[in-house]
Amino acid sequence: MKSLPFQVKLNATTGGESREYSFKSTHGIDSAESVKPEEVLLLKGTDLESTSAVLNVDSRIGAVGCVLGDEVSAGRLMMTESRARQSLVSEFNRRKNSVENAEVMLTSDLKEDLLRKYDVATYVPRVSDPDHVIRQKIFEISEVLRDNSQLYIASDKSTMSKFEGFLEQFGNIQERVQGDYRLLEVDNPESPRNDGFLQTKMVSHSMKGVEAEFKVIEGFFSARQMNAVEMLGREVESNGDEKLLDLSSGFGGAGVFASLLEDVNPVFVDRNNYMKDIVAENCRKNSVENYNIYTEDGAENFDTAAFDLILYRVMSQDDKKLIQNDLENCRRILKSDGEILVCHKRDSKVPSYLKMLFDDVEVKRREVNYQVSACVK
């Protein structure tokens, strides 16, 4: 992979000997994609010497996995990452630090890929992730742990205070503090299995005389999401039987309306794996046929020139590098003369990113703080 500009160094004692670890990254140490030394060292304090199987969730640059991998002398450590780019960075750093008993897996669904085979799990939440995403990740981790296992979560005090009550549903909690950082240990976590943090409701919406009904997640759905669906859906024009990508699809509203209004074949992509069932139900409920749903790391896994039309809703919390990467891949997977419609905040840098990739950028629709920008390849 191409040169990584940032380097993070960390000293830790392993097997009674001090060792310096070095990690390369596309992001600086203060980025949400990195981890803080305090978080790594808090997790380093866990006793893993006799543990046979350790899971490190959201590995990012691989710092936690590499340091803990040296501790797991009697077993194996699995680093998982839901973002393709970061999984490559983790693997690069694993090799760079010669951590032999660890491996890296790219997965967006822990329950589907990992089963119940881990004794210990470690997790440092991304500060850029919405609260419901972090809760869902904790829920999934509890589902892949064996009986008599431990879950360790480390982050700054502010982040951990938001989830302490939620974690109490899974088991007894012990705490360790280091400066402004906290480690919470959940002993033998058991999934509460109530999905209370993913309660759903039904909403209806009409566009161009067509009525549709959608299942959405309470606490996550907002009127702003439906406004984005409306803004994108009204700009879709198709000759019929064309292939459309609804990227960052959420509950699938834009793709569903595009199918109902323009008879396209939609492909839905969202990074949150629990949206897959919701989108599928919304397609069935609204009689949408010939659709596909993926939980992917953006658009990078699709073939070149695969789509006639792309709808992309830029999330306000998305990292700018993530947005740039998505747009670059969107251009690659668009067919010649294909069109991309992007709904974004009016004061964002999305138009400048688009101008670097496309000859012309046209503003199709403006409403309050948002607009739809359109480009033809």
Q: pLDDT band at residue 32, thresholds of 50, 70 and 90? A: very low
- Whether 256 contacts 283, CB under 8 Å: yes
- Whether 147 contacts 111, CB under 8 Å: no
Least confident of 82-86, 261-265, 289-293: 82-86
Query: Pick the residue with more confidence: 113 or 261?
Result: 261
The confidence score (pLDDT) of residue 305 equals 93
Coil, strand, or helix at residue 235?
A: coil
pLDDT surpassing 50 at residue 18: yes
Beta strand pairing call for 145-156 and 181-187:
antiparallel
Q: Span 107-119, mean pLDDT?
A: 73
pTM above 0.75, yes or no: no
The confidence score (pLDDT) of residue 214 equals 96
Q: pLDDT band at residue 91, thresholds of 50, 70 and 90? A: very high
The confidence score (pLDDT) of residue 27 equals 62
Of 255, 194, 267, 260, residue with least CA distance to 229: 255
Number of other CB atoms surrounding residue 54 within 10 Å: 26
**Domain residue extents for the chain:** 6-194, 199-376
CA–CA separation, 110 vs 279, rounded Å?
19
Give burial (CB, 10 Å; 0-12/13-18/19+) of 81: buried
Give all strands (DSSP E) within 188-333, no chain letters.
Answer: 200-207, 210-217, 243-247, 265-269, 292-294, 307-313
Query: Pick the residue with more confidence: 130 or 283?
Result: 283
Give burial (CB, 10 Å; 0-12/13-18/19+) of 11: exposed
Q: Span 56-81, mean pLDDT?
A: 85
Of 343, 376, 333, 121, residue with least CA distance to 245: 333
The confidence score (pLDDT) of residue 194 equals 45
To the nearest whole percent, how much of the chain has pLDDT over 90?
38
Domain 199-376, CATH homologous superfamily name and number: Vaccinia Virus protein VP39 (3.40.50.150)
The confidence score (pLDDT) of residue 29 equals 45
Q: Span 157-165, mean pLDDT?
A: 84
Which overall architecture, per CATH, does domain 6-194 show? Answer: 3-Layer(aba) Sandwich (3.40)
pLDDT surpassing 70 at residue 11: yes
The confidence score (pLDDT) of residue 162 equals 83
The confidence score (pLDDT) of residue 293 equals 94
Q: Give backbone dihedrals phi and psi of 202, rounded to 5 degrees, phi first.
A: -105, 140
The confidence score (pLDDT) of residue 129 equals 80
